[in-house]
Amino acid sequence: MSEDKKLRQLRDRIDQIDEQIGQLISERASCAQEVADVKKAELGTAYASQTFYRPEREAQVLRKAMERNKGPLSNEEMARLFREIMSACLALEQPIKVAFLGPEGTFTQQAALKHFGHSAVAMPFSAIDEVFREVEAGAVNYGVVPVENSTEGVVNHTLDNFMTSNLKICGEVELRIHQNLLISDVTDVKSITRIYSHAQSLAQCRKWLDAHYPKAERVAVSSNAEAAKRLKGEWNAAAIAGGMAAELYELKILAEKIEDEPDNSTRFLIIGTESVPASGDDKTSLVVAMRNEPGALHNLLEPFHRHDIDLTRVESRPSRTGAWTYVFFIDFSGHAGDPVVSKVLKEVSSRAADLKLLGSYPKAVL
């Protein structure tokens, strides 16, 4: 068989498979519409105010897609395909409105689209406080905020907002962070004397900047996207930002993946108003205020150790209620509805001055 004939046969087979995939996606979308019709009949006038996104259900679907995957696509690529299909189908019921820390082109926007898919309506806001307010006011269904970076630590402003907000954590996103050096069409590459970026991104690229632009001024701005926006018209400046910002603001990537740590990643939280049922592989977050006494931290953590619960993060922050007192933000594996976890939470609450459950939610799938 000639190579041309073999290629034609393979392409014909791909066309047949594409037709089948298209039919199945349409069938799935029709089922989603039927679900919407059932809910509309059940809820009546209350239908318009309901949110039909189910974090635990979507996490289960994505995990099953990864478990069934036999290659050659990676598990993550397979899950991303299913994420976009689910996003489009859910939009037939009711598009999800999501607030994120903007402007457009930030890693937080990238995290929002990774979690909710491109059929969600993503809306940028200039501060973490504003994202919390928009969700609290009901103007959007969910918010996406950064909480910690693997090399630069926690985002304190996000933690501080949880101390005064009644919102709950409904999910998490882990995003691999690749930093790039961007220039505009008017940049003189040999005359770069100023580099814009967010303070954390400048810190994440410190060694690379020391080696390649030791004399350039490093200017911290509110976000990487803001840094990218500033380049238009500045012939002697560059910016550090992600690929989304480069594409959005029509900039050229002069150097790729300039972050100092190869495993640099950031964790984002999904905030909303409802509690999330167990998905089978969950995480719980809480904030605990302890009495200022010897052994307070040991007393706080001991029940987790005794019941073999995996603590994934413990972070202290100054309390706003008194000088030299602290609260602890704790993440651990498990759901608040689990009998063992429920028992531990009751024990910890009895030892603490105050305990606030921030939410139980599916561990990041993507």
Could you list the active site residues? 266, 268
Q: How far apart are CA 334 and CA 331, in angstroms?
A: 9
**Is the torsion defined by CA of 96, 227, 132, 274 positive or negative?**
positive
Going from the C-alpha of 73 to that of each of 22, 69, 152, 171, the distances in angstroms are 19, 8, 32, 25
Q: Quick check: 266 and 208 in contact, CB under 8 A?
A: no
Phi/psi for 206 (5° steps) reads -55, -50
Going from the C-alpha of 297 to that of each of 58, 154, 210, 316, 363, the distances in angstroms are 36, 20, 40, 10, 26
Q: Is the peptide bond before 103 cis (omega within 30 degrees of 0)?
A: yes
Question: Measured between alpha carbons, how far apart are the two ends of the chain, in Å?
Answer: 43
Q: Which residues contact 183 (CB under 8 A, 6 or more apart)?
A: 189, 192, 231, 238, 239, 251, 252, 254
Q: How far apart are CA 123 and CA 144, in angstroms?
A: 10
365: nearest Cα among 59, 55, 54: 59
Q: Quick check: 235 and 187 in contact, CB under 8 A?
A: yes
Provide DSSP, 50-74. Answer: -----HHHHHHHHHHHHHH--SSS-
List residues bridging with 161 in a β-sheet: none
